[in-house]
Chains A and B, each alone.
Chain A
Amino acid sequence: MSLLAKTAARLRGNVARARIGPIGIDFALESIHLVQLEAATGKPPVLRARASLAFEGTRRDFLTQPLQFRALMKRALDADRFQGRDAVIAVPSDMFRTMSINYKCGAGKDQEAAAVLKVMKDRVDGDLSDFVLDYLPVQSRTKNDERLALVAVSERKPIVALLELARKCRLDVQALEIGPVAISRLVTAFSSENNAENVLVINSGRRASYLTLLSGSDLLFDQEFAFGETGLVQLVAETLDMPEDMARSLVLRTGVRAGGHADPVSAAVDETGIVDTMSEILKPHFLRLVDEIKRVCLYAAAETRGGAVTKVYLLGSIARWPGSDGLLATMTGVEVTKMPDPLSLFIETNENHASTTEDPAPELAVATGLALRGMRTHG
């Protein structure tokens, strides 16, 4: 190959690498997660950079201390090959709420927005101007001229404070999203195109879990449910009369269902008895979650003309417990799987990260979904 041809090929390569997506930033309960993707022309996006750093103290404290915020953000951006300052941020879960509303309106975006605002006036406490809201209309659902939309609403003050924090870090916030939307984008990326199946995503946290129902590419429903890891660990600790830390590590090691993929130590010492005990302790509480899942399945059937929930993705803290997906699958009769490693879909380009499958990072699901905003997932 001539020198000219080599140069041209190199230039073509540089042009092909030109599209770099925004940095997805997720403020989780104890840490901050950042993901950035890049995409060559006509090709699916690949991972460019990722970082996860723990806060000192709580998230609430972190979000009220600009200096700490700036220092941690700088460390996070320096931790990998992040490029640019464009960012898509997920509003922390305690700063917003979602609600599904029915509304009637004529054609046109303005009329639709006015109708949504009219409904929301009665649904929020106080003046609507003190709130920030946006909505996602459910395209597939029109019943008796009534439309359905998922509305995200947050108080204006903390939202502006968060934006100011980001601005002072010289971040150019392209959008302020919510976790469920990011997750639904990730799930859509995992699914094949034109897949209209109903999928439920359970994102379990320390104190609560979030149930997000997707119908194809529509976000039908998102709900907080009081079912968290902390409550379950406390229950195990009280029942087995042991400290919470020990109970947590025991659950993480043995899991909650026999036959689950427990660690090699548990398998070697045959902790089947312990696992059964765990299962017996936790099952009544898992039943609450199962009831909620069934209610969601009924809702999905009602909203999608009998469409069943075909798959349940589990992610978050409870997803780390061995056998938790199997236990839920057994109890609900629905296919429950742990959310695939969010980065597995995006081939690594960074030589520092040899393989995503060797280093799964389910906690990056929201940040990855945020980073996908504006990127074409199928090339």
Chain B
Amino acid sequence: MADIDLIPHDYRIWIGQQSMLRRYATGFVALNAMMILIGGGLHYLEGQAQGELLRVKSENALTQQQQAQLQQLTDQQIEYERQLSLLYGLRAGAAIDDIFAIIDRTLVVGELWFLDWSFRRAGVVVNGEPRGIETGYFIIVSEDGDALADQGLEVQTHMTIHGQARNHQSLSKFVRALFEEPDIRDVNVQKTSQTGYANRRVVDFAMTVVLNSALKSS
């Protein structure tokens, strides 16, 4: 059955428009409210994140400070260890009485005599494989902690001798005898000259004897 409807057509359209407008307005308000809520939520989360970031940053700063302190302490430890090695090296070289014994073995009585001598023990930078403290080398450690390749500090024991020999033959014999000693590394005759001594001519000389660092008592 058909039905009667006395609602004017234009009024129905107007009502439809009103309804649509109301729906849009409601939707707009709801959307805005949602955006505000989301914005608020995001702002809150941002605040939380900022707080967390500050906390992490402060923790990171603390960690960096601790790292710097650790680095400083590590450097200090390395320095102390280097000084300790040096000290050990200095303490470890050939004993004085051994040196005297070596010299004494090579010395021919009456052919050569000493006027003056000096003894020096010092570090010398050399190339070579690190061989521990007992070898007389100190490992030079760079800033970043890596050992400098093939560089070490060798503790060398120098003996500078100023003396006089009867002649050059006696001096040569003495030098050869020194070279034959295993604990003598090098012998450098620095100067020789003829000079008078009493009523005869003698050879005045100056030489440097370099001893091995790991000198053992014989």
Chain A residues 48 to 95 lying within 8 A of chain B, measured CB to CB, are 91
Which of A159, A188, A218 interacts with B8 by CB under 8 Å?
A: A159
The answer to whether B6 touches A96, judged by C-beta atoms less than 8 angstroms apart, is yes
Nearest residue, chain B, Cβ from A373: B3
The answer to whether A136 touches B4, judged by C-beta atoms less than 8 angstroms apart, is yes
Q: How many residues of B contact A (CB 8 A)?
A: 10
The answer to whether A188 touches B5, judged by C-beta atoms less than 8 angstroms apart, is no
In the complex, number of A-B residue pairs with CB atoms less than 8 Å apart? 50
Stretch of A100-108, A173-181, A240-248, A318-326 lying at the B interface: A173-181
The answer to whether B2 touches A175, judged by C-beta atoms less than 8 angstroms apart, is no
Which of A178, A185, A218, A219 interacts with B6 by CB under 8 Å?
A: A178
The answer to whether A159 touches B6, judged by C-beta atoms less than 8 angstroms apart, is yes
* SS class, residues of chain A in contact with chain B: strand
Chain A residues 173 to 198 lying within 8 A of chain B, measured CB to CB, are 173, 175-178, 181, 184-185, 188
Q: If the complex has contacts A160-B11, A163-B11, A167-B15, are A136 and B6 also in contact, measured as CB distance less than 8 A?
A: no
B96 at the interface (CB under 8 A from A): no
Which of B2, B6, B8, B11 interacts with A91 by CB under 8 Å?
A: B6
Chain A residues 212 to 265 lying within 8 A of chain B, measured CB to CB, are 217-219
The answer to whether A154 touches B1, judged by C-beta atoms less than 8 angstroms apart, is no
Q: If the complex has contacts A160-B11, A167-B15, are A152 and B4 also in contact, measured as CB distance less than 8 A?
A: yes
- A132: chain B residues at CB < 8 Å are 6-8
A134 at the interface (CB under 8 A from B): yes
The answer to whether B7 touches A176, judged by C-beta atoms less than 8 angstroms apart, is yes
A156 at the interface (CB under 8 A from B): yes
Which of A136, A163, A219 interacts with B7 by CB under 8 Å?
A: A163
A137 at the interface (CB under 8 A from B): yes
- Complex CA–CA separation, A160 to B8 (angstroms): 8
Nearest residue, chain A, Cβ from B2: A136
Instruction: Say how far A132's CB is from chain B's closest CB, in angstroms.
Output: 5
- Complex CA–CA separation, A159 to B3 (angstroms): 17
- Complex CA–CA separation, A202 to B11 (angstroms): 33
22 A-B residue pairings within 8 Å (CB atoms):
A132-B6, A134-B4, A134-B5, A135-B4, A136-B3, A137-B2, A152-B4, A154-B6, A159-B8, A160-B8, A163-B15, A175-B3, A175-B5, A175-B7, A176-B7, A177-B3, A178-B4, A178-B6, A181-B3, A184-B1, A185-B1, A188-B1
